[in-house]
Every structure is written in C-alpha cells, then in structure tokens.
Amino acid sequence: MNLLDSLRTHRLLAIVRGSDPDAALATVLTLADSGINLIEVSLTSTDALGVLRRARAALGTEYGLGAGTVLTAEQAADAAEAGATYLVTPALAPSLAEAARLGLPVLAGALTPTEVVQATTGGAAAVKLFPASVGGPDYLRALRDPFPQTPFVPVGGVDAARARDYLDRGAIAVGVGSPLVGDAVRGGDLAALRQRAADFLAVTAIAPAGGAS
C-alpha cells in the first residue's frame, strides 16, 4: 500500500490496544464499518497477531490494517505474515530495516529533530511524532520550520480538539487511541464507539473548497 497517500487522504489512524482479543476484533470491525480506513492493532495487545489475521480475513484487502508497536525484525516479519500492510513503531528500531527488506511502509516514531532525520533517512514513509503530548501542537509547528516537507503524524494524547489543532499546524494525519476507542476494547458499547468515530471523522475531514473546516 501507499501509506503516505493513505494518511494524507484519510487523515485519521485508529489505534487498537487491549487484553480481550474478541473485543479488540469487534472494535476493529466497528471502526472499519464506521468509515475509518486506517486501523493499527498494537502488538502489545493480547493475541495481536490473531486479531490481525481475523480482521484481515473479515475485511479483505480494502482496508489499511497495520501492526503497531513493532520493534524487532521478528515482529515485523510476523506482522506481515498476519496480514499487516504497514508497520508503526514508537521509536527508531530494528523493525525499520526489516520492513524495508519486506517492502512494507513504516510510520516510524520520533520526537527530537535528530530522530526525525534518522527516521526519514532510514526509509520511513512518515514520522510518528510520539509522544506528541510532550510538546503539543506548538512543538509540531516548531519542528515544521526546519522540516517543512516531512510528513508528521502526531500520536499520544490526541483528543478531538487536539486533532484539529495538529492538522491546522501541518500534520498530514493524527493517530488516536483511547479517546476514540474508549472502552470498546474491553467489551464496551459499540454504538458509542460508532459515535466517537463519526465525531473524529468530522474533525479530521478536509473542508470543501471555500468552506469551513
């Protein structure tokens, strides 16, 4: 997949992380059915690879289903085998080189200017600004001065209001976990998840020409 194009088009990456595999799968499928095209299943989840396999079988190839918190070369290979079409890392890690060997795009975690350079020169399709909550939207704006062409995706502490702020300051997309997923990964209300998904999709939508965002 072309991860960079997908991030620019959809502008929202949902992050699913939980200890109940069946609830995690239901969360992924509900997010997809609600119109969210990019969904990451964190490998810190219980039976994450099983969730990825079952989600891919249910969704087919239409959706951008990725694996998150991928740190090692072995994890990268396992995620690819389970059906992930892109990888997400919290930091610069050996998984970046393995993903390149496998031909998988990576959203690579970085925080400092040095790490941003290392991520981009290491072949990352985009930079996951993590944890974004450390500096907030103003830090993203400061980073974009020396890195105006770098595609940034803030992750960490991104609620609906912050999502809009980050996008207004030049992020190509935002990654959102608990503010979007809520208690669904613990078997919570899927109707409430659908409403939160609609709210985030409205916040991250590109405004029509001449219209307000």
102: domain CATH number?
3.20.20.70
Tokens 């620019």 belong to which residue?
8
* Confidence bin at 209 (pLDDT 50/70/90): very low
| Domain encompassing residue 162 | 3-204
Residue 195 located in a structural domain? yes
Residue 176 has pLDDT above 80, yes or no: yes
Mean pLDDT, the chain, whole residue set: 95
pLDDT at position 62: 87
- Say if residues 131 and 155 touch (Cβ distance below 8 Å): yes
Residue 177 located in a structural domain? yes
Residue 121 located in a structural domain? yes
Residue 159 located in a structural domain? yes
Amino acid at site 112: T
Residue 38 located in a structural domain? yes
| Residues forming the active site | 40, 128
Residue 209 located in a structural domain? no
Question: Is-above-0.85 flag for pTM?
Answer: yes
Cα–Cα distance for residue pair 6/3, rounded to 1 Å: 5
Residue 145 located in a structural domain? yes
| 160-173: average pLDDT | 96
Q: Helices 190-204 & 21-33, crossing angle to 10 degrees?
A: 50
When divided into structural domains, the chain yields a total of: 1
Residue 213 located in a structural domain? no
Q: Report the candidate in 93, 39, 46 with the shortest Cα–Cα distance to residue 67.
A: 39
Q: Which residues pair with 14 in a beta bridge?
A: 39, 176
pLDDT at position 213: 36
- Say if residues 163 and 202 touch (Cβ distance below 8 Å): no
Write the CA distances from 132 to 18, 28, 140, 156, 209, integer angstroms: 21, 23, 8, 5, 29
Tens digit of each residue's pLDDT (9 = 90 or more) over 7-58: 999 999 999 999 999 999 999 999 999 999 999 999 999 999 999 999 999 9
